[in-house]
Structure 1
């Protein structure tokens, strides 16, 4: 269901139930009306970050990645504009006989 938020403890409990072989992913999906892909994302988060999973520390990392992507797009845009301006200047100089 879109828009629902879950507590850190709930997410860890779900992942621990699967990792401890107490219940399967399908069982937990039915019991809590969760999608398997959501549980899979939670499991990957726990595998990657351990006990630090689902803490606020993840948000700065995501915002930094977003900022880097934004700056890379901006750099690409500036590079394209620079190329266009250089070609325009070369065309202008060749038409007017300027070196």
Structure 2
């Protein structure tokens, strides 16, 4: 059935049943009305991400926000340093021209 959303717990339960050899992909597919390719995708997700599987990137979003904030602070610091250097260069050129 297209468009259904399954909970993280349900997905992990299905994958755990396959990994522990309690049931086969075909059995779970028939029992829950899932296509086998979906179950295989869930298994790959668990293999790749482990405990972070099916978290919809919540932790990733938070770390991305922190990284963006860090880069924005750094960009501000560089802009300030650039302004100071430009003013210093202008002052140097003025003083050099008067001597």
TM category, shorter = 0.5 to 0.7
1:48 aligns with 2:46: no
CA pair 89-18 structure 1, distance change in 2 beyond 3 A: farther
CA-based RMSD of the aligned residues comes to: 3.6
- How many residues of Structure 1 are paired with residues of Structure 2 in the alignment? 86
**Which of 62, 66, 72 matches 1:68?**
66
- Structure 2 stretches lacking a partner, 5+ long: none
Q: Which has the larger radius of gyration?
A: 2
- TM-score, normalised to structure 2's length? 0.56
Distance 1:64 1:17, change over 3 A: same
Q: C-alpha separation between the residues in 1 aligned to 2:64 and 2:72?
A: 12
Q: What does residue 10 of structure 1 align with? A: 10
The match for 1:19 is: 19
